[in-house]
Amino acid sequence: MFEDILSATIRGATPLLLAALGEVISQRAGVLNIGIEGMMLIGAFFGMVGSFYTEKLAMIYMPELAMMAPWFGLLMAGLSGLIAAALFALCAIRLRGDQVIVGTAMTLLALGLTEVVYQRLFGVTGIAKGVPAFQQIDIPLLSELPFLGRALFSHNILVFIAFLLMPCVYFFLYHTQLGLRIRACGEHPKAIATVGANVLRLRTMCLLFAGAMAGIAGGYLSLADVPYFTPGMTVGRGFIALAIVIFGKWHPVKACGAALLFGLGTALDARFQALGWGIPYQVWLMLPYVLCLAVLAGFVGRAEAPLALGRPYGE
């Protein structure tokens, strides 16, 4: 029982961690990417489309490439998130629009765009079967360890990549010169500009990275979590990723712990529904979001955001 919950917690935390790591970089540079929910949804849609059509074309021309379909889908997911972030950067960084308004518009655009294009491509009923997806990998020896072996070392490859990225992002932010410049960009952009740094370029680069990570996080949902796409399938995970960044105090390691906490909420939601206590299932579906509200209410006042977060450069 505990092993199953831990495994489900890790799986549930993975898309949140992927999105949150990108958001940590973006917000450390001073850009509040409210559009992360829309970027995740776009990534989920184009990840599914990329995997579906790659397999379809491979079976006609090169059947041996069919096994690469999930990777092409993941590439499409990341690229689509990056393109959405580029649009966000144009409006919010170059044109100095309000980041909250631009991000909200991005999410609304993603909701409408993905549903319309999905119905045009696959009809109202959608595709008849799932798309090629990432399969579970059992790490030799480690997955055979008693008690925690399968919970920790039997997952699809995106889970391992997400948790390996966390120390990489930490090292980049706190032990490289570029990471120092990014953190300074979010605290005192005018000061870092005096030493020759291009604030707009730095912020744009960080936002593009955050968009690609959000797209990959969405791709995880349609290529690893469930092998299909449904309109609105992110169901607020992007906003939960924003809460994770705040709860983790804009630190990648703490954000990882927060992602696991929210992943636990998702895992318990499924387990409580299976117990059959006669409580409407909608109550358990609310659990991760109630946890999100509780965390924001308890920690947002005590967390110290980067001083220039959300402020267009020059103000």
Q: How many domains does the chain have?
A: 1
Tell me the pLDDT band of 176, cut-offs 50, 70 and 90: very high
Residue 109 lies in a domain: yes
Lowest mean pLDDT of 15-24, 127-136, 188-197, name the range: 127-136
Q: Quote the pLDDT of residue 298.
A: 65
Of 161 and 235, more confident: 161
Of 118 and 297, more confident: 118
Whether the predicted pLDDT of 291 surpasses 90: no
Half-sphere exposure of 124 (CA within 13 A, CB side): 0
Report the phi/psi class of residue 164: left, alpha or beta, with left for phi > 0 and alpha for psi in -120 to 50.
alpha
Whether the predicted pLDDT of 275 surpasses 70: no
Can you give the CATH number for the domain in which 191 is found?
1.10.3470
Residue 189 lies in a domain: yes
In the 8-state DSSP scheme, what is residue 229? -
Tell me the pLDDT band of 300, cut-offs 50, 70 and 90: low
Q: Quote the pLDDT of residue 31.
A: 94
Amino acid at 113: L
Residue 143 lies in a domain: no
Q: Are 243 and 265 in contact (CB under 8 A)?
A: no
Q: How far apart are the first and last CA of the chain?
A: 54
Amino acid at 195: V
Residue 140 lies in a domain: no
Q: Are 17 and 194 in contact (CB under 8 A)?
A: no
Q: How far apart are CA 214 and CA 310, in angstroms?
A: 19
pLDDT tens digit string along 141-167?
Answer: 888 888 788 888 889 999 999 999 999
- What is the pLDDT averaged over residues 291-308? 71
Residue 313 lies in a domain: no
Q: Quote the pLDDT of residue 263.
A: 87
Residue 130 in 3-state DSSP?
Answer: coil
Q: Are 166 and 16 in contact (CB under 8 A)?
A: no
Q: How far is CA 204 from CA 30, 54, 87, 88, in A?
A: 10, 31, 10, 9
Amino acid at 255: A
Q: How far is CA 58 from CA 122, 235, 304, in A?
A: 19, 32, 50
Q: Quote the pLDDT of residue 128.
A: 59
Report the phi/psi class of residue 264: left, alpha or beta, with left for phi > 0 and alpha for psi in -120 to 50.
alpha
Best mean pLDDT range from 135-139, 145-149, 278-282, 287-291:
135-139
Q: Are 69 and 131 in contact (CB under 8 A)?
A: yes
Whether the predicted pLDDT of 296 surpasses 80: no
Q: Quote the pLDDT of residue 61.
A: 78
Residue 260 lies in a domain: yes
Give the domain range for residue 192: 2-132+159-299
Q: Are 181 and 192 in contact (CB under 8 A)?
A: yes
Residue 305 lies in a domain: no
Q: Are 258 and 249 in contact (CB under 8 A)?
A: no
Of 142 and 111, more confident: 111
**Nearest one of 236, 221, 178 to 37, comparing CA atoms:** 236
Residue 55 lies in a domain: yes
Q: How far is CA 314 from CA 235, 310, 311, in A?
A: 35, 12, 8
